[in-house]
Amino acid sequence: MEAIKSVRHRTRRFKLFSIAAVLAFTILAAAIPLAVVFTKRNHQTTPKPTVLVPLYVYPAPGAWDPLHQVVTANPGLGFTVVLNPANGPGPSQYPGSDYAAEVQKLNAHSNVRMMGYVPTGYATRNITSVLLDVSTYSGWATDPTTTGLAVHGIFFDETPNQYSTEAAEYLETINRAVKNSSGLLSDRMTIHNPGSIPDARLADPGPDVTVVFEETYQTYQLAPSSKTLQDKLASLPYGRSRYCYLMHSVPKSMGGADLRRLVDGLSKYAGYLFLTDLSDNYYASFGSKWLDFIDAMLV
């Protein structure tokens, strides 16, 4: 009799264990796809960043093809392209036919926004010269021999990151010139490039977009102060749509998955990105990681 009781007791325990195991498996099976869904949702809450291309490449035949190809192949990805014919628009009223033809091709795409490059010398360049460059870009739209030549805004390079009344007035004057230029397209965008985090007083109201990081991958990722730098970039007060990161010297050995993780991490805090493996003259060609970077932007 005792043996029978023992068997029954073990049987009840086995049944209870089996029921518990089934319940646990059911909960786990439901939780795994749920976790996947939430992971995907969290990834998808960050919109794709825009590719900001400093295109300091002379438009020799075929030189801009790497850009034309990805723009055409990826209509859902935005491209903001910075043109720099001659450290600015150059001395002529209109660009040469080589530039005009390439700009026309890019402007034909709805996912492209064209910007004209203007240096400011950290607000030391003669402001009359800066305003003349803005006026020249604005005048491109009036070229009687070409249609579709206009740019959408101005990329002001070498803007200061330290506040002074004079610097603030300088930047406000050149910003206002862009917004009042009737020859520029759409929202007459302004981008400032101090290459680092500027004094907050220069960002209010400031430009539409500020380049707050223009450095090497190593500076961002590996330097002893990188954590502090990353914390500062992550805590900037405005939304990601107002910030841009330009990163060069990305390791050539960085594979697709690692590059995607890097782009994912940067895009949480910047709505405009450019990455290249080149470590010098990094805006004068596209580099060997160009297509890998574009693929990482699409995921």
Rounded CA-CA distance 177/159 in Å is: 16
Judged on CB neighbours under 10 Å (0-12, 13-18, 19+), 154 is: buried
The reported pLDDT for the residue numbered 224 is: 79
The reported pLDDT for the residue numbered 258 is: 95
Mean pLDDT score of the chain, rounded to an integer? Answer: 87
**Residues pairing with 81 in the sheet:** 53, 114
The reported pLDDT for the residue numbered 180 is: 97
Q: What is the mean pLDDT of residues 272-278?
A: 98
pLDDT category, 248, cuts 50, 70, 90? very high
Stronger pLDDT, 28 or 47, i.e. the higher one: 47
Give phi and psi for 220, each to the nearest 5: -75, -40
The reported pLDDT for the residue numbered 188 is: 97
Rounded CA-CA distance 296/263 in Å is: 7
Rounded CA-CA distance 56/81 in Å is: 10
Q: What is the mean pLDDT of residues 51-57?
A: 98
Q: Is the pLDDT of residue 222 over 50?
A: yes
Stronger pLDDT, 8 or 98, i.e. the higher one: 98
In the chain, domain spans: 1-45, 49-298
Q: Is the pLDDT of residue 10 over 80?
A: no
Please list, in sequence order, all residues whose beta carbon lies within 8 angstroms of the beta carbon of residue 54, skipping any fewer than 6 positions away.
82, 84, 117, 155, 246, 274, 283
Rounded CA-CA distance 78/12 in Å is: 64
Question: In this structure, what DSSP letter does residue 240 have?
Answer: G
Q: Which range has the worst mean pLDDT, 5-9, 238-242, 267-271?
A: 5-9
Alpha helices in 117-181 (DSSP H): 127-139, 165-179
Residue 111 has, within 13 A of its CA and on its CB side, a CA count of 19
The reported pLDDT for the residue numbered 108 is: 96
Rounded CA-CA distance 44/38 in Å is: 10
The reported pLDDT for the residue numbered 1 is: 43
Q: Is the pLDDT of residue 256 over 70?
A: yes
pLDDT category, 8, cuts 50, 70, 90? very low
- In terms of CATH architecture, what is 49-298? Alpha-Beta Barrel (3.20)
Distances (CA, A) of 45 to 20, 39, 156, 257: 37, 10, 31, 20
Read off the tokens for 69.
């190809």
- Supply the DSSP string of 8-68, one letter for each residue: HHHHHHHHHHHHHHHHHHHHHHHHHHHHHHHHHHHHHTSPPPEEEEEE-----TTTTHHHH
pLDDT single digits (tens) 151-168: 999 999 999 999 999 999
Of 108, 54, 110, 102, residue with least CA distance to 77? 110
pLDDT category, 227, cuts 50, 70, 90? confident
Helix, strand or coil for residue 80? strand
pLDDT single digits (tens) 165-210: 999 999 999 999 999 999 999 899 999 999 999 999 999 889 999 9
Rounded CA-CA distance 270/247 in Å is: 12
Question: In this structure, what DSSP letter does residue 159 have?
Answer: -
With the C-alpha atoms ordered 293, 194, 134, 97, is the resulting torsion angle positive or negative? negative
Of 207, 189, 196, residue with least CA distance to 245? 196
The reported pLDDT for the residue numbered 215 is: 97
The reported pLDDT for the residue numbered 45 is: 63
